[in-house]
Amino acid sequence: MVIGPTEFLDYEHERVRAFVGKAIGDATTPKDCAVRLFYAVRDGLDYEVSGQDLSREGLRASSIVARGQGFCVHKSILYAAAVRSVGIPSRLVVSEVRNHLASPALKALVGGDTFVHWLTAIRLDGRWLHVTPVFNKVLCRLYRMEPLEFDGESDARLHPFTDGERMEFLTEHGRFDDVDYDRLMGLMRTRHPGMFANGTVVPDSGSLAAQATSV
């Protein structure tokens, strides 16, 4: 299952195939494909929380490509699907983290500075690597933090220190071959009820780019 298409990692969809084909270009090795896809997801999709779709349909990789934005949930799903499409095994990793760079508006939305955080585990050269293609370069610049880089050989999990601090990983809730929708959305509803005040579309609290000056 770590290699095949699933309900959410629907990489056989034409939109996902087109995204992958454009991203990998002339890359031929799994490592080069994984790296190019990392940057395509990191910088090709805007990182945004407000207004994002957390429905079953909204969390399919094909829907995420069409929307062109999302937060860790969406971007990690798309990356997991994209690497599988070129034969790289992947899993979704669901954790909780403390994020010291969140804006006041984002903290109000999620209920504090502790977040359910999704990333991707991929298998390259016989090893599982933790990869976080989430915070795009432009947003990192606005929040005065260095973007997370990936070389295809080491984990890309923790951002460099910013003002002497960094994101802190607290708890891991599991690794998943596909989105366990009821379980994982139940976890997010419990931890972040404000995100589900309007159902499965996150309420609009303003763009993260506009909120950067408040951090």
Q: Is residue 28 part of a domain?
A: yes
Instruction: Tell me the H-state helices in the chain.
Output: 14-24, 30-44, 61-67, 72-85, 104-110, 137-142, 181-191, 208-211
Q: Is residue 207 part of a domain?
A: no
- Residue 123 domain boundaries: 14-198
For the stretch 32-66, pLDDT in tens is 999 999 999 999 999 999 999 999 999 999 999 99
Picking from 136, 139, 159, the residue whose alpha carbon sits closest to that of residue 43 is: 136
Domain contains 114:
yes
Number of domains in the chain: 1
CATH of the domain at 192: 3.10.620
Task: Name the nearest CA neighbour of 119 among 108, 104, 133.
Answer: 133
Residue 120 in contact with residue 92, Cβ under 8 Å?
yes
Rounded mean pLDDT for each run of 10 residues along the chain, 215 residues in total: 91 98 97 98 94 98 97 97 98 90 85 94 97 88 85 85 62 96 97 96 85 65
pLDDT of residue 1: 55
